[in-house]
Amino acid sequence: MGGTLIAHWDGKLMQDLTTKENVERLPILVSGNGTVQLLNVPKLPNGTGSEMAKVVVGGLEDWDLTERIGRMSFDTTSSNIGRNNGACVLIEQHLKKDLLYFACRHHVLELLLAAAFTTIMGPTPGPEVTLFKRFQDHWKFIDRSQFESGDSHCASSAGPCGQELVPEHPDDKDKGLRDDYRELLELTVIFPARSPHEE
């Protein structure tokens, strides 16, 4: 693998092979020049930025790749992007160089959405939003074969944008859409009262 590489990591809660308890693991891989290499999937004693930075740098050192890393790809949790103790800052300090940040585009947009939601709906008292939880609980009773438009004023204001934003067939597997983006496109079509699967 010649040239500059990107370091990727993302914590996952997984069942331990021996104790059957859930443990935090951190898959670490590098990519670049058409190659992807998994370096390690260590257990973490905790999910702090310090612990993640330690194992990421350790994995890079084990593979003698510290000089080759020029970028980082990560999700936007506070343990990664914290200004003082985030894994990204600590990794840069360990490697003694600045790296280009490639925050996950999905998580970046989640931050924007969260800010807009808080502005409109106010802060939420816990991790679950009551409105969404109630909707989730009643989802099984909703006839999903029937689509109705959103607020008529909003729908009319949207105009033809739904048709412009979404491909002809959002369920076309050849489009290569990830499930979360496919859902966003389908909701964009549903809002002005179209079925996402109509020809």
Summarised one tens digit per residue, pLDDT across range 167-199 is 555 455 545 556 666 776 676 666 555 555 554
Residues 29 and 80 in one domain: yes
The overall pTM is greater than 0.75:
no
pLDDT at 121 over 80: no
Residue with tokens 């966003």: 184
23 near 16, Cβ under 8 Å? yes
Angstrom distance (rounded) from CA 43 to CA 90: 19
* Of 49, 80, 103, the domain-final residue: 103
Q: Which amino acid is at 174?
A: D
Q: How many domains does the chain have?
A: 2
Mean pLDDT of the 40-50 span = 90
Q: Is position 123 within any domain? A: no
- Domain range enclosing 53: 5-103
